[in-house]
Structure 1
Amino acid sequence: MQLWDYVQGHAGTLTFLTYQHASLAFQSVLLGTVIAVLIAVLVYRLSFVSALTLTSSRVALTIPSLALLALLIIPFGLGVVPSFIMLAFFATMPVIGNAIVGLRSVPPAVIEAARGIGLPRWRILLSVELPIAWPVILTGIRVSTQMIIGIAAIVAYVLGPGLGSLIFSGLSRLGGANALEMALTGTILIVLIALVFDGLLVLLGRATISKGLQ
Protein backbone atom coordinates (compact mmCIF):
# COMPACT_ATOMS: atom_id res chain seq x y z
CA MET A 1 0.00 0.00 0.00
CA GLN A 2 2.80 2.42 0.87
CA LEU A 3 4.51 1.59 -2.43
CA TRP A 4 1.38 2.39 -4.41
CA ASP A 5 0.88 5.62 -2.47
CA TYR A 6 4.46 6.60 -3.27
CA VAL A 7 3.96 5.88 -6.99
CA GLN A 8 0.77 7.92 -7.10
CA GLY A 9 2.34 10.81 -5.24
CA HIS A 10 5.40 10.96 -7.51
CA ALA A 11 3.89 9.96 -10.85
CA GLY A 12 5.34 12.92 -12.74
CA THR A 13 8.90 12.38 -11.52
CA LEU A 14 8.72 8.63 -12.07
CA THR A 15 7.44 9.10 -15.63
CA PHE A 16 10.27 11.49 -16.42
CA LEU A 17 12.96 9.24 -14.94
CA THR A 18 11.52 6.22 -16.75
CA TYR A 19 11.60 8.11 -20.05
CA GLN A 20 15.20 9.17 -19.41
CA HIS A 21 16.25 5.61 -18.62
CA ALA A 22 14.49 4.11 -21.64
CA SER A 23 15.79 6.81 -23.97
CA LEU A 24 19.38 6.46 -22.78
CA ALA A 25 19.25 2.67 -23.17
CA PHE A 26 17.62 2.88 -26.62
CA GLN A 27 20.12 5.38 -27.99
CA SER A 28 23.07 3.47 -26.55
CA VAL A 29 21.95 0.15 -28.04
CA LEU A 30 21.15 1.78 -31.38
CA LEU A 31 24.61 3.33 -31.69
CA GLY A 32 26.26 0.18 -30.37
CA THR A 33 24.42 -1.94 -32.94
CA VAL A 34 25.44 0.29 -35.85
CA ILE A 35 29.09 0.26 -34.74
CA ALA A 36 29.03 -3.51 -34.14
CA VAL A 37 27.56 -4.35 -37.55
CA LEU A 38 30.01 -2.04 -39.33
CA ILE A 39 32.95 -3.68 -37.54
CA ALA A 40 31.59 -7.15 -38.31
CA VAL A 41 31.18 -6.31 -42.00
CA LEU A 42 34.80 -5.14 -42.12
CA VAL A 43 36.34 -8.20 -40.47
CA TYR A 44 34.12 -11.26 -40.99
CA ARG A 45 35.88 -12.39 -44.18
CA LEU A 46 39.29 -12.34 -42.45
CA SER A 47 39.57 -15.43 -40.25
CA PHE A 48 42.34 -14.21 -37.95
CA VAL A 49 40.98 -10.69 -37.58
CA SER A 50 37.43 -11.88 -36.97
CA ALA A 51 38.62 -14.38 -34.34
CA LEU A 52 40.64 -11.64 -32.65
CA THR A 53 37.65 -9.30 -32.73
CA LEU A 54 35.40 -11.97 -31.23
CA THR A 55 37.85 -12.62 -28.41
CA SER A 56 38.36 -8.92 -27.77
CA SER A 57 34.62 -8.25 -27.58
CA ARG A 58 34.19 -11.02 -25.01
CA VAL A 59 37.13 -9.84 -22.93
CA ALA A 60 35.84 -6.26 -23.06
CA LEU A 61 32.66 -7.38 -21.28
CA THR A 62 34.76 -8.27 -18.23
CA ILE A 63 35.77 -4.63 -17.73
CA PRO A 64 34.00 -3.35 -14.59
CA SER A 65 31.42 -0.86 -15.82
CA LEU A 66 31.87 1.37 -12.80
CA ALA A 67 35.63 1.50 -13.34
CA LEU A 68 35.18 2.47 -16.99
CA LEU A 69 32.65 5.11 -15.98
CA ALA A 70 35.10 6.54 -13.45
CA LEU A 71 37.83 6.75 -16.10
CA LEU A 72 35.50 8.58 -18.49
CA ILE A 73 34.90 11.27 -15.87
CA ILE A 74 38.48 12.51 -16.38
CA PRO A 75 38.05 13.71 -19.99
CA PHE A 76 34.26 14.21 -20.08
CA GLY A 77 33.26 15.22 -16.55
CA LEU A 78 29.95 14.24 -14.97
CA GLY A 79 26.57 13.77 -16.58
CA VAL A 80 25.20 12.39 -19.82
CA VAL A 81 28.35 12.19 -21.98
CA PRO A 82 30.38 9.67 -19.94
CA SER A 83 27.18 7.73 -19.22
CA PHE A 84 26.31 7.43 -22.90
CA ILE A 85 29.85 6.51 -24.00
CA MET A 86 30.13 3.77 -21.37
CA LEU A 87 26.74 2.30 -22.24
CA ALA A 88 27.33 2.45 -26.00
CA PHE A 89 30.67 0.68 -25.50
CA PHE A 90 29.10 -2.20 -23.60
CA ALA A 91 26.11 -2.31 -25.97
CA THR A 92 28.46 -2.89 -28.89
CA MET A 93 30.18 -5.98 -27.52
CA PRO A 94 27.43 -8.67 -27.61
CA VAL A 95 26.28 -7.55 -31.06
CA ILE A 96 29.78 -7.71 -32.57
CA GLY A 97 30.12 -11.39 -31.72
CA ASN A 98 26.69 -12.32 -33.03
CA ALA A 99 27.12 -10.26 -36.19
CA ILE A 100 30.42 -11.94 -37.04
CA VAL A 101 29.05 -15.41 -36.30
CA GLY A 102 25.90 -14.69 -38.30
CA LEU A 103 27.75 -13.39 -41.35
CA ARG A 104 30.25 -16.23 -41.30
CA SER A 105 27.45 -18.81 -41.08
CA VAL A 106 25.87 -17.81 -44.40
CA PRO A 107 26.10 -20.90 -46.65
CA PRO A 108 28.80 -20.48 -49.34
CA ALA A 109 26.43 -22.02 -51.90
CA VAL A 110 24.00 -19.15 -51.39
CA ILE A 111 26.76 -16.59 -51.94
CA GLU A 112 27.95 -18.42 -55.06
CA ALA A 113 24.41 -18.47 -56.42
CA ALA A 114 24.16 -14.70 -55.88
CA ARG A 115 27.44 -14.20 -57.69
CA GLY A 116 26.22 -16.45 -60.46
CA ILE A 117 23.32 -14.11 -61.25
CA GLY A 118 25.72 -11.19 -61.42
CA LEU A 119 25.14 -9.42 -58.10
CA PRO A 120 28.04 -7.17 -57.03
CA ARG A 121 29.71 -7.72 -53.66
CA TRP A 122 27.81 -4.92 -51.90
CA ARG A 123 24.46 -6.20 -53.17
CA ILE A 124 25.26 -9.70 -51.94
CA LEU A 125 26.08 -8.27 -48.51
CA LEU A 126 22.91 -6.19 -48.26
CA SER A 127 20.40 -8.50 -49.93
CA VAL A 128 21.76 -11.96 -49.06
CA GLU A 129 24.28 -12.10 -46.21
CA LEU A 130 22.85 -9.54 -43.79
CA PRO A 131 19.24 -10.79 -44.12
CA ILE A 132 20.37 -14.38 -43.46
CA ALA A 133 22.55 -13.24 -40.52
CA TRP A 134 19.83 -10.97 -39.14
CA PRO A 135 18.20 -13.49 -36.72
CA VAL A 136 21.59 -14.07 -35.05
CA ILE A 137 22.32 -10.33 -34.98
CA LEU A 138 18.91 -9.65 -33.47
CA THR A 139 19.60 -12.16 -30.71
CA GLY A 140 22.74 -10.19 -29.88
CA ILE A 141 20.72 -6.98 -29.84
CA ARG A 142 18.24 -8.50 -27.40
CA VAL A 143 21.05 -9.61 -25.08
CA SER A 144 22.69 -6.19 -25.36
CA THR A 145 19.44 -4.37 -24.63
CA GLN A 146 18.69 -6.33 -21.47
CA MET A 147 22.26 -5.84 -20.24
CA ILE A 148 22.29 -2.10 -20.95
CA ILE A 149 18.95 -1.43 -19.28
CA GLY A 150 20.39 -2.94 -16.10
CA ILE A 151 23.82 -1.30 -16.33
CA ALA A 152 22.21 2.08 -17.01
CA ALA A 153 21.23 2.27 -13.36
CA ILE A 154 24.84 2.85 -12.27
CA VAL A 155 25.24 6.07 -14.27
CA ALA A 156 23.61 7.79 -11.28
CA TYR A 157 27.11 7.68 -9.74
CA VAL A 158 28.21 10.31 -12.27
CA LEU A 159 24.92 12.24 -12.18
CA GLY A 160 23.70 10.48 -15.29
CA PRO A 161 20.01 10.36 -16.18
CA GLY A 162 17.54 7.61 -15.43
CA LEU A 163 16.13 5.50 -12.64
CA GLY A 164 19.48 4.79 -11.01
CA SER A 165 19.24 8.05 -9.10
CA LEU A 166 16.00 6.83 -7.54
CA ILE A 167 17.49 3.48 -6.52
CA PHE A 168 20.68 4.88 -5.03
CA SER A 169 18.88 7.70 -3.26
CA GLY A 170 16.60 5.15 -1.65
CA LEU A 171 19.47 2.83 -0.69
CA SER A 172 21.46 5.68 0.82
CA ARG A 173 18.48 6.65 2.98
CA LEU A 174 17.35 3.19 4.11
CA GLY A 175 15.38 3.55 7.30
CA GLY A 176 14.15 7.00 6.28
CA ALA A 177 10.78 8.00 4.89
CA ASN A 178 10.00 6.46 1.47
CA ALA A 179 13.56 5.11 1.14
CA LEU A 180 12.50 1.52 0.51
CA GLU A 181 9.69 2.64 -1.79
CA MET A 182 12.13 4.67 -3.89
CA ALA A 183 14.53 1.75 -4.35
CA LEU A 184 11.76 -0.75 -5.09
CA THR A 185 9.99 1.53 -7.53
CA GLY A 186 13.17 2.22 -9.45
CA THR A 187 13.98 -1.49 -9.64
CA ILE A 188 10.49 -2.47 -10.74
CA LEU A 189 10.40 0.20 -13.43
CA ILE A 190 13.75 -0.98 -14.82
CA VAL A 191 12.39 -4.53 -15.05
CA LEU A 192 9.28 -3.24 -16.82
CA ILE A 193 11.40 -1.30 -19.32
CA ALA A 194 13.41 -4.45 -20.02
CA LEU A 195 10.24 -6.47 -20.61
CA VAL A 196 8.76 -3.84 -22.93
CA PHE A 197 11.96 -3.50 -24.96
CA ASP A 198 12.31 -7.27 -25.31
CA GLY A 199 8.71 -7.55 -26.43
CA LEU A 200 9.28 -4.88 -29.05
CA LEU A 201 12.38 -6.66 -30.32
CA VAL A 202 10.42 -9.92 -30.59
CA LEU A 203 7.84 -8.09 -32.70
CA LEU A 204 10.65 -6.57 -34.77
CA GLY A 205 12.01 -10.04 -35.41
CA ARG A 206 8.61 -11.33 -36.53
CA ALA A 207 8.26 -8.40 -38.90
CA THR A 208 11.76 -8.49 -40.39
CA ILE A 209 12.90 -12.14 -40.39
CA SER A 210 11.75 -14.05 -43.46
CA LYS A 211 9.46 -17.00 -42.83
CA GLY A 212 12.08 -19.43 -44.10
CA LEU A 213 14.54 -18.39 -41.38
CA GLN A 214 12.09 -18.31 -38.45
Structure 2
Amino acid sequence: MIQCLLLATIIGVGVGIFVYRSPGGSAIATALSSTILTIPSFALLGLLIPIVGLGVPPTVIALTMYSLLPIVRNTIVGLSAVDPAVTDAAKGIGMSRFRVLAQVELPLAWPSILTGMRVATQMAMGILAIAAYAKGPGLGNLIFSGLSRVGSPTAIPQALTGTVLIVILALILDGIYVVIGRLTTSKGIR
Protein backbone atom coordinates (compact mmCIF):
# COMPACT_ATOMS: atom_id res chain seq x y z
CA MET A 1 0.00 0.00 0.00
CA ILE A 2 2.81 2.43 0.87
CA GLN A 3 4.47 1.81 -2.49
CA CYS A 4 1.17 2.58 -4.25
CA LEU A 5 0.85 5.89 -2.46
CA LEU A 6 4.48 6.78 -3.19
CA LEU A 7 3.97 5.98 -6.88
CA ALA A 8 0.72 7.96 -6.96
CA THR A 9 2.41 10.89 -5.22
CA ILE A 10 5.34 10.94 -7.65
CA ILE A 11 3.03 10.68 -10.67
CA GLY A 12 0.36 13.03 -9.28
CA VAL A 13 2.74 15.78 -8.16
CA GLY A 14 4.63 15.47 -11.46
CA VAL A 15 1.42 15.83 -13.47
CA GLY A 16 0.28 18.71 -11.24
CA ILE A 17 3.58 20.57 -11.71
CA PHE A 18 3.42 19.99 -15.46
CA VAL A 19 -0.14 21.36 -15.94
CA TYR A 20 -0.86 23.84 -13.14
CA ARG A 21 -0.02 26.92 -15.22
CA SER A 22 -2.43 25.87 -17.98
CA PRO A 23 -6.16 26.00 -17.20
CA GLY A 24 -6.86 23.60 -20.08
CA GLY A 25 -4.13 21.20 -19.02
CA SER A 26 -5.33 21.32 -15.42
CA ALA A 27 -8.89 20.56 -16.49
CA ILE A 28 -7.77 17.63 -18.66
CA ALA A 29 -5.52 16.16 -15.94
CA THR A 30 -8.28 16.45 -13.35
CA ALA A 31 -10.89 15.00 -15.71
CA LEU A 32 -8.69 12.03 -16.66
CA SER A 33 -7.80 11.21 -13.06
CA SER A 34 -11.42 11.55 -11.97
CA THR A 35 -12.55 9.27 -14.80
CA ILE A 36 -10.51 6.48 -13.22
CA LEU A 37 -12.67 6.72 -10.09
CA THR A 38 -15.80 6.01 -12.12
CA ILE A 39 -14.51 2.50 -12.90
CA PRO A 40 -15.73 0.09 -10.20
CA SER A 41 -12.79 -1.46 -8.35
CA PHE A 42 -13.96 -5.04 -9.06
CA ALA A 43 -14.14 -4.21 -12.76
CA LEU A 44 -10.70 -2.60 -12.84
CA LEU A 45 -9.15 -5.55 -11.01
CA GLY A 46 -10.98 -7.88 -13.40
CA LEU A 47 -9.55 -6.00 -16.38
CA LEU A 48 -6.02 -6.04 -14.94
CA ILE A 49 -5.90 -9.75 -14.02
CA PRO A 50 -5.64 -11.03 -17.64
CA ILE A 51 -2.93 -8.43 -18.35
CA VAL A 52 -0.68 -8.66 -15.26
CA GLY A 53 -1.95 -11.77 -13.48
CA LEU A 54 -3.07 -12.29 -9.90
CA GLY A 55 -1.47 -11.05 -6.69
CA VAL A 56 0.45 -7.85 -6.07
CA PRO A 57 0.71 -6.32 -9.61
CA PRO A 58 -3.03 -5.67 -10.21
CA THR A 59 -3.38 -4.40 -6.66
CA VAL A 60 -0.50 -1.93 -7.01
CA ILE A 61 -1.73 -0.67 -10.37
CA ALA A 62 -5.34 -0.26 -9.21
CA LEU A 63 -4.47 1.47 -5.93
CA THR A 64 -2.03 3.79 -7.69
CA MET A 65 -4.64 4.74 -10.29
CA TYR A 66 -7.36 5.32 -7.70
CA SER A 67 -5.01 7.46 -5.57
CA LEU A 68 -4.15 9.91 -8.36
CA LEU A 69 -7.19 12.23 -8.30
CA PRO A 70 -6.79 13.83 -4.85
CA ILE A 71 -3.04 14.21 -5.30
CA VAL A 72 -3.26 15.72 -8.80
CA ARG A 73 -6.12 18.03 -7.84
CA ASN A 74 -4.52 19.23 -4.61
CA THR A 75 -1.15 19.77 -6.29
CA ILE A 76 -2.78 21.95 -8.94
CA VAL A 77 -4.82 23.84 -6.34
CA GLY A 78 -1.83 24.33 -4.04
CA LEU A 79 0.52 25.56 -6.76
CA SER A 80 -2.15 27.79 -8.32
CA ALA A 81 -2.82 29.40 -4.94
CA VAL A 82 0.77 30.67 -4.56
CA ASP A 83 0.69 34.46 -4.68
CA PRO A 84 2.21 35.67 -7.98
CA ALA A 85 3.90 38.51 -6.08
CA VAL A 86 5.92 35.93 -4.14
CA THR A 87 7.12 34.18 -7.30
CA ASP A 88 7.86 37.53 -8.96
CA ALA A 89 9.96 38.53 -5.95
CA ALA A 90 11.87 35.24 -6.16
CA LYS A 91 12.52 35.79 -9.86
CA GLY A 92 13.53 39.37 -9.07
CA ILE A 93 16.35 38.22 -6.80
CA GLY A 94 17.70 36.02 -9.59
CA MET A 95 16.14 32.62 -8.89
CA SER A 96 15.77 30.34 -11.89
CA ARG A 97 12.37 28.89 -12.78
CA PHE A 98 13.39 25.55 -11.24
CA ARG A 99 14.58 27.17 -7.99
CA VAL A 100 11.36 29.20 -7.72
CA LEU A 101 9.38 25.97 -8.08
CA ALA A 102 11.56 23.94 -5.69
CA GLN A 103 12.23 26.57 -3.02
CA VAL A 104 9.13 28.77 -3.12
CA GLU A 105 6.10 27.26 -4.83
CA LEU A 106 6.34 23.62 -3.68
CA PRO A 107 6.96 24.49 0.00
CA LEU A 108 3.96 26.85 -0.08
CA ALA A 109 1.81 24.20 -1.81
CA TRP A 110 3.02 21.38 0.50
CA PRO A 111 0.07 21.51 2.96
CA SER A 112 -2.35 21.13 0.06
CA ILE A 113 -0.33 18.28 -1.48
CA LEU A 114 -0.14 16.52 1.88
CA THR A 115 -3.91 16.81 2.25
CA GLY A 116 -4.29 15.14 -1.14
CA MET A 117 -2.03 12.34 0.05
CA ARG A 118 -4.15 11.91 3.20
CA VAL A 119 -7.37 11.69 1.18
CA ALA A 120 -5.74 9.25 -1.28
CA THR A 121 -4.63 7.06 1.62
CA GLN A 122 -8.11 6.88 3.09
CA MET A 123 -9.61 6.03 -0.31
CA ALA A 124 -6.96 3.39 -0.93
CA MET A 125 -7.66 1.71 2.42
CA GLY A 126 -11.22 0.95 1.35
CA ILE A 127 -10.17 -0.29 -2.06
CA LEU A 128 -7.33 -2.38 -0.61
CA ALA A 129 -9.87 -4.67 1.06
CA ILE A 130 -11.32 -5.48 -2.36
CA ALA A 131 -7.83 -6.40 -3.65
CA ALA A 132 -8.26 -9.79 -1.99
CA TYR A 133 -10.51 -10.58 -4.97
CA ALA A 134 -7.35 -10.56 -7.15
CA LYS A 135 -5.39 -12.58 -4.57
CA GLY A 136 -3.70 -9.35 -3.51
CA PRO A 137 -2.20 -8.71 -0.11
CA GLY A 138 -4.01 -7.07 2.75
CA LEU A 139 -6.63 -7.43 5.40
CA GLY A 140 -9.33 -7.95 2.81
CA ASN A 141 -8.37 -11.62 2.84
CA LEU A 142 -9.76 -11.86 6.39
CA ILE A 143 -13.01 -10.27 5.27
CA PHE A 144 -13.42 -12.47 2.20
CA SER A 145 -12.47 -15.58 4.15
CA GLY A 146 -15.08 -14.79 6.78
CA LEU A 147 -17.76 -14.00 4.21
CA SER A 148 -17.04 -17.21 2.31
CA ARG A 149 -17.97 -19.21 5.44
CA VAL A 150 -21.26 -17.48 6.23
CA GLY A 151 -23.22 -19.70 8.57
CA SER A 152 -20.23 -20.92 10.53
CA PRO A 153 -19.73 -19.47 14.03
CA THR A 154 -16.42 -17.81 13.08
CA ALA A 155 -17.56 -16.16 9.83
CA ILE A 156 -18.88 -12.86 11.17
CA PRO A 157 -16.14 -12.35 13.80
CA GLN A 158 -13.45 -12.97 11.16
CA ALA A 159 -15.00 -10.52 8.66
CA LEU A 160 -15.53 -7.98 11.45
CA THR A 161 -11.91 -8.38 12.62
CA GLY A 162 -10.63 -7.59 9.12
CA THR A 163 -12.89 -4.55 8.89
CA VAL A 164 -11.90 -3.18 12.30
CA LEU A 165 -8.20 -3.70 11.56
CA ILE A 166 -8.54 -1.76 8.29
CA VAL A 167 -10.21 1.13 10.15
CA ILE A 168 -7.49 1.12 12.83
CA LEU A 169 -4.74 1.07 10.18
CA ALA A 170 -6.42 3.96 8.34
CA LEU A 171 -6.54 6.01 11.56
CA ILE A 172 -2.88 5.24 12.32
CA LEU A 173 -1.82 6.30 8.83
CA ASP A 174 -3.86 9.50 9.11
CA GLY A 175 -2.12 10.26 12.41
CA ILE A 176 1.25 9.72 10.73
CA TYR A 177 0.28 12.26 8.06
CA VAL A 178 -0.63 14.78 10.75
CA VAL A 179 2.80 14.33 12.35
CA ILE A 180 4.54 14.59 8.97
CA GLY A 181 2.61 17.80 8.29
CA ARG A 182 3.66 19.33 11.59
CA LEU A 183 7.31 18.37 11.07
CA THR A 184 7.57 19.46 7.43
CA THR A 185 5.38 22.56 7.24
CA SER A 186 6.90 25.90 8.14
CA LYS A 187 5.33 27.61 11.14
CA GLY A 188 4.63 30.66 8.97
CA ILE A 189 2.48 28.59 6.60
CA ARG A 190 0.56 26.72 9.33
**Same fold by TM-score greater than 0.5:** yes
Aligned CA-pair RMSD: 0.9
Cα displacement string for residues 148-168 of structure 1 (whole angstroms, at most 9, x for unaligned residues): 011100111111111111101
Corresponding position: 1:71 with 2:47: yes
Could you tell me which of 99, 103, 109 is aligned with 1:127? 103
**Matching residue of 2:185:** 209
Whole-Å separation in 2 of the counterparts to 1:60 and 1:166 = 27
* 1:157 aligned counterpart, secondary structure: helix
Report the 3-state secondary structure (helix = DSSP H, G, I; strand = E; otherwise coil) of the residue aligned with 2:138: coil
Name the counterpart of 2:168. 192
Query: Percent identity over the alignment?
Result: 55
1:92-131 mapped onto 2 (5 Å cutoff): 92-131=68-107
Equivalent residue number for residue 18 of structure 1: none
Bigger relative CO (Cα 8 Å, ≥ 6 apart):
1
Structure 1 position 177, deviation (Å): 3.3
Whole-Å Cα distance in 2 between the matches of residues 145 and 49 of structure 1? 25
Q: Structure 1 residue runs of 4+, over 4 Å off?
A: none
**Aligned residue type for 1:120:** S
Gaps of 5+ in 1: 1-24
Which amino acid in structure 1 is aligned with residue 126 of structure 2? G
Whether 2:100 is the aligned partner of 1:89: answer: no
Structure 1 residue 55: deviation in Å? 2.2
TM-score (norm 1): 0.86
Displacement, 1:213? 1.3
User: Which deviates the most, 57-66 or 160-169?
Assistant: 57-66
Q: TM-score, normalised by structure 2?
A: 0.97
- Residue identity matched to 2:129: A
The amino acid across from 1:162 in the alignment is G
Residue in structure 2 matched with residue 148 of structure 1 by the alignment = 124
For residue 7 of structure 2, the aligned residue among 31, 49, 66 is 31
Q: Which residue of the partner structure matches residue 60 of structure 1? A: 36
Structure 1 counterpart SS, 2:188: helix
Q: CA deviation at 1:74?
A: 1.2
